[in-house]
Amino acid sequence: MALQPLRRPAESGVSRWCRGSVCPLSAREPLIAEDATSFRGCDTWKGEPSVALVDVLIPTCDRKTGLAVVLTSLLGQTFKDFDVIISDQTEGEAASFESLETQTLIRALEWHGHRVTVHRHLPRRGMAEQRQFLLEQSRASYVHYLDDDVLLDPPVMERMLAVLRVEGCGFVGCAATGLEYLGDVRPHQQHIELWEGPVRPELFEPDTVPWERHMINNAANPLHLEQRLAPNGRAVRYKVAWVGGANVLYDRAKLLSVGGFSWWRRLPCEHAGEEVVVQFLLIRKYGGCGILPSGTYHLGLRTQVEDRRRNATELFGELIREFNVHPGEPVEPLATAPALAGR
């Protein structure tokens, strides 16, 4: 198939670049094709492009440096069968992906065979809507949400996918650790519950969520624990209440079965916890886990969700009923398992 003629998109109130469509970035000037089909490596465009096993979904806003760092991390991954979808909500004239360094990284990813699709997605309607928009663009079996403020070790994606495929659970997450806390050892927060057998559903209810589990992912706790529990780099699975949203790999079909983030209209634009309630639902129906080593480092950039008065977790009970979120197998009542102390 011959290349389609390229044109500049007209201005619109939604997107200066794409008018809500796909922006292929390649070695040529970043324009948009008539058929809105993105590039894959150096191949010519095809009517039915191949689908990668994993779609990496990156929500970003006004973080040129952070976006460049996470794209650099992707370029170095030992796992290769992935494409990238970016949704940029930077307001004003210059989007984050328009910087020279980011375009260079996108072209490098394309050169190595990864299709990179960029959307200028405005106006901002909150993180739940941003994540739902990305999910709707994906066609892969697995979706890997990465925030625009993390650095990844090279084997992270390969390790996460291996665990998710073996366990068949809803998600596998790696906590984003703060390297500035390396000298701050917190034994009182390092009580970890390891999965001894297969990862299974846990019957979370709105009033029985084991909130205390979240402390394991604070500061540099995962780094201190992996020194003892995963010194050889082999994945260790542990129980979570949630594992954050910075680096989480989902089974796409399972995520869709619990509603994804489709309920975003029920929250104001300023909200938090959208990834938390989704992980509650997946744990309840399919199970989910965190793993060590995390291989994920937070860049320490300031949060862009300043107003956290509304939290998506308030929808948990409602979403259980609406999407019939129940385990497909008998499960043991949720109880606090004997913890392995971090001493």
- pLDDT at res. 60: 94
Pull the structure tokens for residue 179.
Answer: 């390297």
pLDDT at 308: 61
The per-residue b/e assignment along 167-202, b for 16 or more CB within 10 angstroms, e otherwise, is bebbbbbbbbbbeebeeeeeeebbbbbebeeebbbb
Per-residue pLDDT of the chain (343 residues; tens, 9 = 90+): 333 322 222 222 233 233 333 444 433 333 222 222 333 443 433 455 689 999 999 999 988 999 999 999 999 999 999 999 999 998 887 777 888 999 999 999 999 999 999 999 999 899 999 999 999 999 999 999 999 999 999 999 999 999 999 999 999 999 999 999 999 999 999 999 999 999 999 999 999 999 999 999 999 999 999 999 999 999 999 999 999 889 999 999 999 999 999 999 999 998 999 999 999 999 999 999 999 999 999 998 877 666 667 899 999 999 999 999 999 888 888 865 444 433 3
pLDDT of residue 330: 87
**Rounded to an integer, what distance in angstroms lies between the CA atom of residue 118 and that of residue 106?**
10
Task: Tell the residue number behind the tokens 């390297």, with chain if given.
Answer: 179
Whose structure tokens read 């084991």? 210
Given this model, what pLDDT does residue 310 score? 85
3-state helix, strand, coil in the chain (%, to 5): 30, 15, 55
pTM of the model: 0.85
- Residue spans per domain, the chain: 149-322
Residue 37's closest CA among 84, 82, 4?
Answer: 4
